[in-house]
Structure 1
Amino acid sequence: MSEPTAPPAPDPAEPPEPPEGTERLDVGRAGRFWSARRLPAALIALVVLGLTGLFLYDVAAVRAGHPAMGWRRRLARELAHRPLGDGWIVTGAVLAVLAGIWLLVLAVTPGRRAVLPMRRETPDLRAGLDRRAAALVLRDRVMEVPGVQSVRVEVGRIAVRARAQAHFRDLDEVRTDVDGVLADGVRELGLARRPVLSVRVRRPARR
């Protein structure tokens, strides 16, 4: 008769499993996903490259004994004679400032607002959830509530807004059930930041 074998010892490298019914805590900061900004970067690179090539060609032509291009002579003449308060000078300066502010905003903001960061359960893995997909999942959950005829769900980074129409049952009861279903659904999505719930239930408009 063989002796009972003891269960294998847990690997110390693996994190212990959380008790059943509890949520796993984050192991790292789940920040927003940053956009690569490929289109703005490509457009700016093309504009800068074109202007640089044009100026280099004109300078090389002048050094070779050819006259400068007419547009560069006209630009130099206009800049030399027009005062700083001229309308065209002010307009160009305003456009340059606005373009600079736009580039700074693109540089310091993450973008990709359609992707919601999820909780990080492992330090080397990041996951995100599309806002439209999250809204579709929550909408299907709310449609299972008795009395709900239709619902529109909008998922944002800060709040989840649900606008439902109930064709029977008391509105307060339907609202309570929708609140509970949305709270469970948002928790199961595993988002890094729990959004605030905003629920409104009303009767369908009479025709």
Structure 2
Amino acid sequence: MTDDQIPPRVRRLRSNRTGWTGPVVVAALVLGGGLLYDAVAVRTGHRARPWRAETADRLATLHLDDPVVLISAGAAVLLGVLLLVLALTPGLRRWLLLRQPGAVIDRAGVAALVTRRAEQLDGVHSAGAKVRRGRTTVTFVGRVDPADVQRELRTELARVPLAGEHRLDVRTGKGRR
């Protein structure tokens, strides 16, 4: 293969929230490292830092039903839930990259396009498509050669300028009885 035949490497889309992970990780490391350093210093016989002694004295005098404790605990729980939601949400998984830098297309749109084209073919009664990041799977019901369906759908899918390689799998499904 020559250099102009090799497709460019496709980078995954990243949501805006990934920009926040760096500062959050750095802040957690700095805070955790400071606490760990002070705890190790106390365990090895050194005196605790003044801020730690003051914080320990204040916390020793507070009760669990004190408003400061309750508000702090609520804020910590809310922050934890927010970070958990950000970690578990899918981000930009429903989008596929196009060849033009920065351009994307919705997976559902590609699935609708391929499904519509399959249903327009003679002999195809119904069709459905599932579009993933690197593969489109089309299942159809009808009396037609799967190779013909695949050839037509490959032509239709080639009209969408998807970045990177994209496989097309065509399967026959069972019809209603």
Bucket of the pairwise TM-score, normalised by the shorter protein:
0.5 to 0.7
Provide the residue aligned with 2:96 in structure 1.
Answer: 116
Identity %: 25
- Residue 67 of structure 1: CA displacement? 6.2
Provide the residue aligned with 1:11 in structure 2.
Answer: none
Choose which of 138, 154, 162 in structure 2 pairs with 1:162.
138
TM (normalized to structure 1)?
0.48
Q: Structure 1: where are the runs of 5+ without partners? A: 1-23, 49-57, 73-98
Structure number with the higher helix fraction is: 2
Provide the residue aligned with 2:41 in structure 1.
Answer: none
Q: What root-mean-square deviation, in Å, do the aligned CA atoms of Structure 1 and Structure 2 show?
A: 3.9
Provide the residue aligned with 1:82 in structure 2.
Answer: none
- Residue 163 of structure 1: CA displacement? 0.9
Provide the residue aligned with 1:51 in structure 2.
Answer: none
TM (normalized to structure 2)?
0.56
Map Cα deviations across residues 71-112 of structure 1 (whole Å, 9 max, x no partner): 39xxxxxxxxxxxxxxxxxxxxxxxxxx8xx98x95xxx941
Q: Look up the SS of the partner of 1:113 in the other structure.
A: coil
Alpha-carbon distance between aligned partners in 2 of 1:31 and 1:67, rounded to the nearest angstrom: 52
Provide the residue aligned with 2:152 in structure 1.
Answer: 181
Structure ID, larger Rg? 1
The aligned length equals 124
Q: In the alignment, residue 176 of structure 1 is paired with which amino acid? A: A
Does structure 2 retain, via aligned residues, the 8 Å contact 1:117–1:191?
A: yes
Moved over 6 A (4+): 24-28
Alpha-carbon distance between aligned partners in 2 of 1:202 and 1:113, rounded to the nearest angstrom: 27
Q: Structure 2: where are the runs of 5+ without partners? A: 29-53, 66-79
- Residue 149 of structure 1: CA displacement? 0.7
Map Cα deviations across residues 144-193 of structure 1 (whole Å, 9 max, x no partner): 11011111101101211111010xx4x4x2x1221012211221110002
